[in-house]
Structures are given as C-alpha cells and as structure tokens.
Amino acid sequence: NTANDVVYILMKKPKSMIGEIDDPIGVPVFLKV
C-alpha cells in the first residue's frame, strides 16, 4: 500500500501536498506523507 502511494505520488507529483517544495522526484512529498 505504501509503495503504491509512493509510486502514485511520484507520478502525480501533487503540488497541493507539497505546498512549498516542487521536487520532480517527489521525495519531499513521500517524507511528509
């Protein structure tokens, strides 16, 4: 489940989740989630 979420985040790269960081890899999102 977590792995799927990570992949989904990496592909979607939602700015709303990051709010401050726009990382193409999406690592900040994964760390925050």
Identify the pLDDT of residue 4: 72
DSSP states of the chain as a string?
-HHHHHHHHHHH--HHHHSS---SS-HHHHHH-
pLDDT in tens, 4-30: 777 766 666 555 555 555 555 555 555
Model pTM? 0.28
Identify the pLDDT of residue 5: 72
Hey, what are 29's tokens?
């999102």
Query: Is the confidence at residue 2, as pLDDT, over 60?
Result: yes
Identify the pLDDT of residue 3: 75
